[in-house]
Amino acid sequence: MRTVAFREALNEAIAEEMEKDDRIFLMGEEVGHYDGAYKVSKGLLKRFGEKRVIDTPIAEGGFVGVGIGAAMVGLRPIIELMTWNFSFVAADQLINNAAKIRQMSGGQFTLPIVFRGPGGSAHMLAAQHSQSTEALWAHIPGLKVVMPANPKDAKGLLKSAIRDNNPIVFIEGEVLYADQGEIPDGEYTIPLGVAEVKRPGTDITLIGWSKMVKIALATADALAAEGIEAEVVDPRTIRPLDEELLVESVKKTKRCLIIEEGWPFNGVGAEIAYRIGRRCFDDLDAPVERLTGADMPMPYNHHLEQQCIPDVPRAVAAAKKLLYLE
């Protein structure tokens, strides 16, 4: 095992896959000469050259479309969005082209392409720059949505995403990039669509992904201090969703709290709650509950912003309510 930062783990995944397959290229704003806006692509231009690490102008609709076109005819692009907030400029390409070309063509074209970049809120970036977009993308059949929570998952999942033959939305928590974590020394991958128990427990299931895994783990620690053993489950892939592992956990604990950074209306948590409600109806000792981001655009002011994002005290309170302790 080695300890690396989240951004380094992603960098390794890209470099290792590019080394093996020259159909793979990396394209996006500031990915080359600037070494990446968040330094995920650090050193890659030097290593692979301008042919394969391509700086683009600010034209998301253009270069996302370029990636899709290149994928149609046999290349395997990795398209970096400087942040997922800017993906909306390319929404038509993602929704009407990337997600649909395979089906519309009767399966003649497959799109082995990864769209990746940071998502979620950071700190005082205000409404246009603080958005969780996974619920939007997961709504679209034809796209897969991947959201790693730690360096090990980041590397293993990104390698699988690059090897996958479908368009992948790969969302990296903007505030996770500096997080350190252990990763295996040798080559490894983590399959898409497989959840992981991040902490075993018996009394309540906490479901979270990306940076909400950290909130869930801290919540579990806080609950443990009061003698409550929470199980933390990270779906890791939002679509396809590993329903079985989530259901298995909730059947055991009989209680479920979903912690989601994004908005509640049509959120990912709403879908998960429906599936658990249907599959675990007879096992549940309390209704499935959600703790989500506030149902409004993100305010700039620091204190207001923090109140709009799920945190440990509110997660602890919500968990205790499900345990009828408050």
Ligand X SMILES: Cc1ncc(C[n+]2csc(CCOP(=O)(O)OP(=O)(O)O)c2C)c(N)n1
Q: Which is nearer to ligand X, 98 or 319 (CB)?
A: 98
* Binding positions for ligand X, rule: CB under 6 A: 29, 58, 60, 82, 86, 89
Nearest to 145 by CA among 82, 86, 209: 209
Nearest to 256 by CA among 293, 208, 295: 208
Which of the residues 105 through 124 are near another protein (CB under 8 A)? 123-124
Position among 5, 15, 23, 30 found at the interface with another protein (CB under 8 A): 30
Q: Which is nearer to another protein, 58 or 325 (CB)?
A: 58
Position among 103, 307, 317, 326 found at the interface with another protein (CB under 8 A): 307
The site partner of 325 among another protein, ligand X, none (C-beta below 5 to 8 Å per kind) is: none
Please say whether the beta carbons of 295 and 259 come within 8 A.
no
Position among 29, 203, 231, 261 found at the interface with another protein (CB under 8 A): 29
The site partner of 178 among another protein, ligand X, none (C-beta below 5 to 8 Å per kind) is: none
Measured between alpha carbons, how far is 164 from 68 in angstroms, rounded to an integer?
Answer: 14
Contacts of 190 (CB under 8 A, 6+ apart): 152, 153, 156, 157, 159, 160, 236
Position among 188, 300, 313, 326 found at the interface with another protein (CB under 8 A): 300
Measured between alpha carbons, how far is 320 from 207 in angstroms, rounded to an integer?
Answer: 15
Catalytic residue, from 30, 129, 229, 289: name it.
Answer: 129
Catalytic residue, from 12, 17, 60, 172: name it.
Answer: 60
Which of the residues 36 through 65 are near another protein (CB under 8 A)? 37, 55, 57-59, 61-62
CA distances from 82 to 117, 171, 259, 262 (A): 6, 11, 26, 19
Take residue 202 and report the two structure tokens written for it. 């018996």
At 193 the three-state DSSP class reads: coil
- H-helix or E-strand containing 264? none
Please say if 302 is a catalytic residue. Answer: no
Position among 20, 21, 22, 34 found at the interface with another protein (CB under 8 A): 34
Q: Mask of contacts with another protein, 251-280, x by CB under 8 A? A: ------------------------------
Q: Which residue is nearest to ligand X (CB)?
A: 86
Q: Across-strand partners of 196?
A: 234
Q: b or e along 185-217 (b: 16 or more beta carbons within 10 Å of the residue's beta carbon)?
A: eeeebbebbebbebbebebbbbbbbbbbbbbbb
Please say whether the beta carbons of 15 and 4 come within 8 A.
no
Please say if 60 is a catalytic residue. Answer: yes
Q: Mask of contacts with another protein, 68-97, x by CB under 8 A? A: -----------------xx-xx--------
Give the residues lining the site for another protein (CB under 8 A). Answer: 29-30, 33-34, 37, 55, 57-59, 61-62, 85-86, 88-89, 123-129, 294-297, 299-304, 307-308
